[in-house]
A and B are shown apart, each in its own frame.
Chain A
Amino acid sequence: MAAKPTTQDSFLSRLLHNQILIPLAALLLLAVFNLIADPSFFKISLGHNSNGDPVLSGYLITIIDYGSELAILAIGMTLVTAASGGQDISVGATIAISGSVLLRVLCGTDTRPEVLHSPIIVAFLVSLLAAMLCGAFNGALVAFFKIQPMVATLILFTAGRSIAAWVNNNELPMITEARFSYFGGYIPGIPIPTPFFIAILVFIATWALLKFTNLGLYVQSVGINEKTARLNGLNPEIIKLGTYVLLGVCVAVAGLIKVSRLSTINYSVIAKDIEMDAILAVALGGNALSGGKFNMSTSVLGAYVIQFLTTTLYKFDVQSDALSAYKAVVVIILVVISAPTVREKTSAFFRKLRTPDGAAKRG
C-alpha cells in the first residue's frame, strides 16, 4: 500500500525531469561528439571586425548568434502548438514577407538609398503589422473555419515568398546604413552578437506576458480540452487567434534579424526550411505536438541544440541543401521515441526486465 504514492511520486518527478532531459541529453551528446572529433570546436577567440570593434568569434558564438532567430520562432511556435495542437509551417515565408515590407518602407522605391526613407523603428512597426496580419490570417482559418493548422498555413507557405517578391517588385533593395546592421551583427563595443540579446528580450517579454496575465494557463487549457475550456468561460477561438498573432510578432523580430544580417533579402532563400527547425525545436523541447501542456524554456534550449547540430554538420562539410536529410532523420528518431505506443512498449519491456530482478532481490 505504501509503495503506491512513491511510485506516483517518482513517476511525477520523472515526468518533470523528462522534458528538460531530452534537449539536455541531445546537447550533451553533441558536445561529447564534437569534443572527441575536434576539441577546437569549443575555442572562442576575441578578434576585431572590419570597423575595429571587438567581437568574439568561434563555433559556440556562431551557435548563439544564428540560433537566436530560431529560438525566437520556437517561443511563438510553442504557444501555437500548445493552443491549436498543430504547427505553423508558414513562418519561413512570413519572415520573407515581413523582411520585404521592412525593406520596402526603409527604401521606398529606391533600391540603393543613400539615406533611409523612414526611421528603422517605423519600418519595423510596419513589418510587425504585416507579420501580425499574416498570423491573424492563419489564426482565423484555424480558429473560426476549423481548418487543420498545418493545412491552413500551407496557403501562406506557398504564397508567402511570391507575396514577398511582389511587395518589392522582385527587386533586391540594399541598405548601406551601418546602424541597420546592428540588429543582426554587433553593436560597437559589445563583443557578443546582438541577436542573442534580442532573443533574451523576447523570451523575458513573453514569459512576463504569460506569467502576469493568465494567458499561459488559458493557452494550456484550450490545448488540453477546447470544450471544457469553453464551458469554463474561455473563448477558445480568440485565444487560438491570439497565439497565431503572437507568433506573428516573433516572426517579425526574426525577420528583422535575418534582413539585418545581409542588409538585403533573397526571397526564395531567406529563412528557408526554418519552419522545420522551429517545429523540431518544439518537439526537442519535449512539448507534445498535439497540444496541451507546454514549456517555453525547453523549446528555446531545443532551438539552440538544433543550431548546435546544424553548425556541427556544416563543420563536417555537409552541403546546405543536404542538411535537411540529416535533420529529417533526427526528427523521425525523436518522434518515434516520443510516440505513445513506443513508450508504452518500452516501459512494458523494462518492467518485464525489472520484475524477475526485484523478485530475486526480495527472495
Chain B
Amino acid sequence: MTSQLPKPVIDSDSRPFWEGLKRRELWIQKCDACQQAIFYPRLLCPHCFSEQVSWVRATGRGEIYSYTVVHRAFGPFAEQTPYVVAIVELEEGVRMMTRIVGDRADIAIGKPVMVTFEQIDDELTLPYFALCSSLSTGNGGNES
C-alpha cells in the first residue's frame, strides 16, 4: 500500500479512534443519555444533543450494508484497482466506510464481516473488514 494516500488530520474528536486502531482495537462512542452508539466521534450526541458521550470498544463484528468494486480511481488509488470499498454496519448499529479484503466473488450485501487492521505506516492504521468465513488466521479480530 502506498503511503501517498490522503492522511487523516487527527483532531481532539478523533484521536482516541486513531490511537485505538494503532493498538489494533476499534473504538466508537456511546451516548450516556440516550444509550445510542455514535460514529464518527464528536463532541455531543447527534441523536439527543447530550454532551455525555463515552468511548466504548466495538466488538468489530458487523455486516456489509453496501459495497462497490472500484475499477477507475485517481491519484494514489489508481494502481490498486480493482478494489472493494464498502459501508459496514457494526452490530452496535453505526455504519462506517471501509475496505473489504478477501475473495471478491464471495462479497455480498448482508454478509457478516469482522474488523481487521491495515497498518499503513507507524502513524496510521486503517480499519478494514474481512468476510467472517474467510477469517481463518484471526488476523486482527478482537472478540477475544
The answer on A and B forming one complex is no
